[in-house]
Amino acid sequence: MKQTLQLKTSQHLALTPQLQQSIRLLQLSTLELHQEIEQVLSENPLLERLDDPLDRSVRLLADGAINSAPSSSQAGEAPAAQGNGDEGGSAPAESGNGEGGDAGGDSGESGGEGGEDWGEYGRSGSGSGGEDEDGRPQLEASPVTLREHLMEQVRLTCCAARDCALVELVVDALDDNGYLEEPLEDIHARLPEELEIEFDELRTALAMVQSMDPPGVGARSAAECLALQIRRMPGVPMVTRRMALVIVEKYLTWFAQREFNKLKKALDCDDEDLREAQAVIRQCNPHPGAAFASDVSDFVVPDVIVRRAKDGWSVQLNPEVMPRLRVNSLYASLMKQGKSETQMNAQLQEAKWLIKNMRQRFDTILRVAQAIVDRQRNFFSHGAVAMRPLVLREIADTLGLHESTISRVTTQKYMLTPHGMFELKYFFGSHVATEAGGEASSTAIRALIVQLTGAEDPKNPLSDSKIAEMLGEQGMVIARRTVAKYREALKIPPVSLRKSL
């Protein structure tokens, strides 16, 4: 075996640390981006943030008094801006130049030591905001749980300590919806025998819980929950109340499936009587304990905002999600004087990379959002029914970016429009052929299905076949099973469950 040396020339793509950071920042959501920035700020002392979200928070002194003094960033921002010269100047976001790449721009190292690399990045102006009129903090009260609400009613009743303990035992066995899922017999079997608690005592405790507010709490089934509420509902005629009780206790399945003909035959009543009983049942709440749930809703902050302008629709970045970053002026002056270490030089380069990549991130988001608005102008003017088919490659070819870059930009990025808040991916969708040889967006077809089902006769709702036929009359060739798939995605019940008296 003979050994030889050979020279071979090849080309390959190497991802520099700056390019890797640019790609990572581009695919992060707004929340993840701010978390990433906070982590970098804690590790790099040369980088500082001018729009600290804690600047306007209420701060307490050691004696418990409220600190009314301004925060350090607010107090030192104006002097720093006056004394930094080139270092503290405002750095506008770089405009897109159409360069390709996964990061939406040139990802090479930042050139020069000019002021734009040393300055802050983000919206201009002071970061201070208006304070409350009286300067007092607005503290939110802790929500009351279902258990606390029920136990407060127990304390107001004049019952023995033994009875209160049994009622508390039943309350602790309730789930979040207010139901007693565990059988009462199993609860009684778990009690110590030396307490000598009779089953009737536990049943009495359950009856006391079922008499409390909210109505329907302590029920062991949906039928019992509705029946408890109907019995306590004021102003209901006796005949209607009795019929509603019979329906929920014996024919609740038929009622849920809207088998009105079977109900009229079983109850020997007409449409008017059944309609009145149905109205009573609809006033009930099948989940009485859900009102005390402590679930906190998550709110989405838009990345871009679309407004109507004189010449069409304009797209703007949301300044509330754009962090204001800059290099610390003190460290910057020391480094210019040559009083720095090698590690500090590396941290300076990392800070400059982050500031530039942040510019590129928001610039790419703005360019992609503007391209989407230019192609979906009919949506902003007429709604979802005017949505046109759009794929990622069309935007990528227009902006000169890679398709994967468009995918990163449109994921977990949101646009605020006159029609509501939408993720950027919402404006992309498949197409359906039309009789005229054109294409219709699947989003527009879903909007038409919502319109058709919303305007249908409740006594004679439209079937999936009828909806497909009506769409065909408008030139959209679509199968019945496709209509059923779109209807289920829109969470629209089938025709049997949409029928009413």
Residue 140: the pLDDT is: 61
Residue 419 three-state SS: coil
Quick one: pLDDT at residue 111? 41
Query: Which range is least confidently modeled, 6-20, 311-325, 480-494?
Result: 6-20
d(CA 131, CA 138): 11
The pLDDT value given to residue 8 = 81
Q: Do residues 347 and 366 touch, judged by C-beta distance below 8 A?
A: no
Q: What is the mean pLDDT of residues 94-120?
A: 42
pLDDT band, residue 369 (cuts 50/70/90): very high
Tens-place pLDDT, residues 413-427: 999 999 889 999 999
Does 400 have pLDDT greater than 70? yes
**pLDDT, position 54:** 55
Q: What is the 3-state secondary structure (H, E, C) of 339-378?
A: CCCHHHHHHHHHHHHHHHHHHHHHHHHHHHHHHHHHHCHH
Residue 290: predicted pLDDT = 85
In contact, 311 and 321? CB cutoff 8 Å: no
**Average pLDDT of the segment spanning 338-359:** 80
The pLDDT-based confidence of 217 (bands split at 50, 70, 90) is very high
pLDDT band of residue 434 (cuts 50, 70, 90) is: low
Q: What is the DSSP string of 197-236?
A: --HHHHHHHHHHHHTSSSTTTTBSSHHHHHHHHHHH-TT-
pLDDT band at 352 (very low <50, low <70, confident <90, very high): confident
Q: How confident is the model at residue 23 (pLDDT cuts 50, 70, 90)?
A: confident
Q: What is the mean pLDDT of residues 54-69?
A: 58
Return the pLDDT at 261.
86
> Is pLDDT of 302 > 50?
yes
pLDDT of 241 reads 92
Taking 70 as the threshold, does the pLDDT of residue 404 lie above it?
yes
Per-residue pLDDT band at 245 (split at 50, 70, 90): very high
Top-confidence range, 50-64, 147-161, 359-373: 359-373
pLDDT of amino acid 65 = 63
Lowest mean pLDDT among 98-112, 144-158, 244-258, 371-385: 98-112
pLDDT number for residue 79: 36
Average pLDDT for residues 487-494, to the nearest whole number? 86
The confidence score (pLDDT) of residue 483 equals 86
SS3 160: coil
Q: How confident is the model at residue 360 (pLDDT cuts 50, 70, 90)?
A: very high
What is the pLDDT at residue 95?
Answer: 38
Instruction: Give tens-digit pLDDT for 250-299.
Output: 999 888 888 888 888 888 888 888 989 999 999 999 999 888 877 666 67
Averaged confidence pLDDT in the chain: 79
pLDDT at 485 over 90: no
Whole-number Å distance between alpha carbons of 397 and 462: 42
Question: CA-CA distance, 389 to 378, in Å (whole number)?
Answer: 12
Of the candidates 389, 390, 392, 375, the residue with the CA atom closest to the CA atom of residue 440:
389
**Is it the case that residue 435 has pLDDT exceeding 90?**
no
- What are the pLDDT digits (tens) for 385-395? 888 888 899 99
The predicted structure's pLDDT at residue 490: 85
Binned at pLDDT 50, 70 and 90, residue 407 comes out as: very high
- Percent of the chain, pLDDT > 70? 77
Where does the pLDDT of residue 90 fall: very low under 50, low under 70, confident under 90, or very high at 90 and above?
very low
The two structure tokens encoding residue 430: 């498949």
Structure tokens at 164: 């209160």
Q: Is the pLDDT of residue 85 over 80?
A: no
